[in-house]
Amino acid sequence: MTPFPLPPGSTIGILGGGQLGRMLALAAARLGFDVAILTPEADSPAGRVAAHVIVAEYEEPGALKTLADLCQVITFEFENVPAGAVLELQRLGAEVAPNPRALAVAQDRLEEKTFLNQAGIPTVGFVPIDSEAELRAAFRRFGPPLLLKTRRGGYDGKGQIWVEKADDSAGALAALGQLPAIAETPADFRREVAIIAARGRDGEIALYPLTESHHENGILRRTTAPAAGPPRPHAEAERIAATLLTALNYVGVLGLELFERDDGRLLVNEFAPRVHNTGHWTLDGCGVDQFEQHIRAVAGWPLGPTAATHHVEMTNLLGEEALTWANLAREPETRVWLYGKRDHLPGRKMGHVNRLSALDSPRR
Ligand code: AMP
């Protein structure tokens, strides 16, 4: 049994080698931990700042054994880690957080929305779709339009398509590769908001302020934090986040994306069982950021303060936008975060900037 709280000098394992793993590793290092990264990618963003790197497929038995032997606790930085890898780590006696159930629920949109509704958390209407007949039946039940999404593997707006009428059903299913899917009703939102939530090993909950998300082409472009507006959606989002963390018996940080309707009511779109892009503002806008918070939670440390210290506008640097780093570095109230990725491919998340302003000043 791993003794908690983990003392500095312990090793924390992370499945995944992307930018989230990189920022987790940096936060862990600041608290005196070593990090071991398991990733299939040689020369990964996280691997280059970690004490140990294992380059292997996630389900490679030898790699999992090495990781389990090396680490006192193991976590993950993206939600498409094969569930089998996490279960194997547990079988090897490793301590894994968040728990594999949370990962499994988040990996499948049908299970996710079903779980949320069972916990009393509202979502858009949805039905599972495995055939053209089922999609046509969904049109009869809900009316047009419907948003068809693959149950698994979608991200950044990929794996989903609006279907305007029942006669487009066959084409839409073909466009998504005939994969198991769900059909969703339109959310009719006035804005998209998000909340980063954390739960410690002792059940303590810490919630960051609600933020506003701006997407372009399905990718998060900007986050403004804290979100402007009346307190009601903030309180409602906090209630939802706390309910979800408890229902999942969760340990770590979780990102929750929501739709805000015209009347202020919130619907959950989805949650990610990990640190999240909508929480990058916390790196410069809060006492303890989401990455340190996650490390604290999985290591059994007390959670840190989450109140905003600044207004932040977080903007993702996509593709060649990251090449403007020299100009960005000249802006005194701008904090630059670059992920060390080699190729500036179009749309790829290369870094982000946090533009700060005083909490009591008008928003940019
Ligand atoms: P997702 O991959 O589920 O996060 O969806 C990506 C984006 O598509 C969301 O951030 C929304 O902008 C939009 N979206 C997703 N689901 C719905 C829905 N049911 N109604 C309207 N827009 C949606």
Q: Is residue 164 part of a domain?
A: yes
Q: 75 and 23: one domain? A: yes
Assign residue 137 a region (left: φ > 0; alpha: ψ between -120 and 50; beta: otherwise): alpha
Whether 364 is covered by a domain: the verdict is no
Give 97-123 pLDDT, tens digit per residue. 999 999 999 999 999 999 999 999 999
Q: Are 164 and 204 contained in the same domain?
A: no
Domain end residue (candidates: 184, 202, 230): 184
Task: Please check the confidence at residue 357 and state whether its pLDDT lies above 90.
Answer: yes
Neighbouring residues of 14: CB distance < 8 A, sequence distance ≥ 6: 21, 24, 25, 35, 36, 37, 38, 46, 50, 74, 75, 76, 77
Query: Same domain, yes or no, for 143 and 212?
Result: no
Q: How confident is the model at residue 362 (pLDDT cuts 50, 70, 90)?
A: low
Domain co-membership, 340 together with 224: yes
CATH code, domain with 134: 3.30.1490.20
Residue 159 Cα: closest atom of ligand 1: 2
- Phi and psi for 8 in degrees, rounded to 5? -50, 150
Asked whether residue 71 falls in the same domain as residue 213, the answer is: no
Helices 19-30 and 290-298 pack at an angle, to 10 degrees, of 70
Decide: 8 in ligand 1 pocket, CB within 6 A: no
173 and 322 inside one domain: no
Distance from the CA of 201 to the center of ligand 1, in angstroms? 32
Q: Are residues 293 and 341 in the same domain?
A: yes
Structure confidence by residue, pLDDT tens digits, 63-100: 999 999 999 999 999 888 998 999 999 999 999 999 99
* Residue 57 lies in domain: 11-96
DSSP assignment of 248-274 equals: TT--EEEEEEEEE-TTS-EEEEEEESS
In a domain, 344, yes or no: yes
pLDDT, one tens digit per residue, over 224-243 is: 999 998 777 889 999 999 99
* Residue located nearest, by CA, to atom 16 of ligand 1: 269
What per-residue confidence (pLDDT) applies to 157?
Answer: 73
Last-in-domain residue among 54, 81, 96: 96
364 confidence band (pLDDT: 50, 70, 90): very low
Instruction: Please tell me the distance between residue 9's alpha carbon and the centre of ligand 1 in angstroms.
Output: 42
Domain's final residue, options 184, 201, 218: 184
Do 310 and 170 sit in the same domain of this protein?
no
Same domain assignment for residues 134 and 209: no
CA of 118 to the centre of ligand 1 (A): 21
Q: Using a 6 Å cutoff on CB, does residue 218 contact ligand 1?
A: yes
**Average pLDDT for residues 264-270, to the nearest whole number?**
95
Identify whether the C-beta of residue 44 lies closer than 8 Å to the C-beta of residue 52. Answer: no
Q: For residue 270, how far is its CA from the centre of ligand 1 (angstroms)? A: 9
Query: Within a domain: residue 238?
Result: yes
Rounded mean pLDDT, 261-277 = 95
Does residue 132 lie within any of the structural domains?
A: yes
Q: How many A from CA of 141 to the centre of ligand 1?
A: 20
Q: Structure tokens of 79?
A: 């939600």
Cβ of 260 less than 6 Å from ligand 1: no
- The pair of structure tokens assigned to 37 is 């990264």
Residue 243, domain CATH:
3.30.470.20
State which ligand 1 atom lies nearest to the alpha carbon of 124.
19
Same domain for 231 and 84: no
Pair of tokens at residue 172: 């839409």
| 78 in any annotated domain | yes
Average pLDDT over residues 167-180: 96
> In angstroms, what is the span from residue 32 Cα to ligand 1's centroid?
39
For ligand 1, whether the C-beta of 163 sits within 6 Å is no
**Domain count along the chain:** 3
Where residue 77 sits, what CATH number does that domain have? 3.40.50.20
Per the domain annotation, does 281 fall within a domain?
A: yes
> How far apart are the CA of 186 and the centre of ligand 1, in A?
9
For the CA of 109, the nearest atom of ligand 1: 3
Q: What is the pLDDT of residue 361?
A: 60
153 touches ligand 1 (CB under 6 Å): no
Q: Which residues contact 154 (CB under 8 A, 6 or more apart)?
A: 109, 160
Strands (E), the chain: 11-15, 34-39, 52-55, 73-76, 126-129, 146-150, 160-163, 181-184, 191-199, 205-207, 211-216, 219-225, 252-260, 266-272, 311-318, 334-338, 349-357
Distance 269 CA to ligand 1 centre (A): 7
Same-domain check for residues 219 and 242: yes
Does residue 270 line the site of ligand 1, with CB under 6 A?
yes
Query: Residues 274-301: pLDDT tens digits?
Result: 999 999 999 999 999 999 999 999 999 9
- Do residue 245 and residue 335 come from a single domain? yes
The answer to whether residue 118 is domain-embedded is no
Q: Whose CA is nearest to atom 1 of ligand 1?
A: 157
Ligand 1 center from residue 243 Cα (angstroms)? 22
Q: Is 219 in the pocket of ligand 1 (CB under 6 A)?
A: no
Closest residue by CA, ligand 1 atom 11: 218
Rounded CA gap, 91 and 174, in Å?
A: 39
Alpha-carbon torsion angle 261, 285, 208, 295, nearest 10: 140
Token pair recorded at residue 299: 């290591």
How far, in Å, is the centroid of ligand 1 from the Cα of 160?
Answer: 9
CB-ligand 1 contact for 124 (6 Å cutoff): yes
Residue of 126, 176, 269 to test ligand 1 pocket, by largest number of atoms within 8 Å of CB: 269
Residue indicated by tokens 């005939």: 178
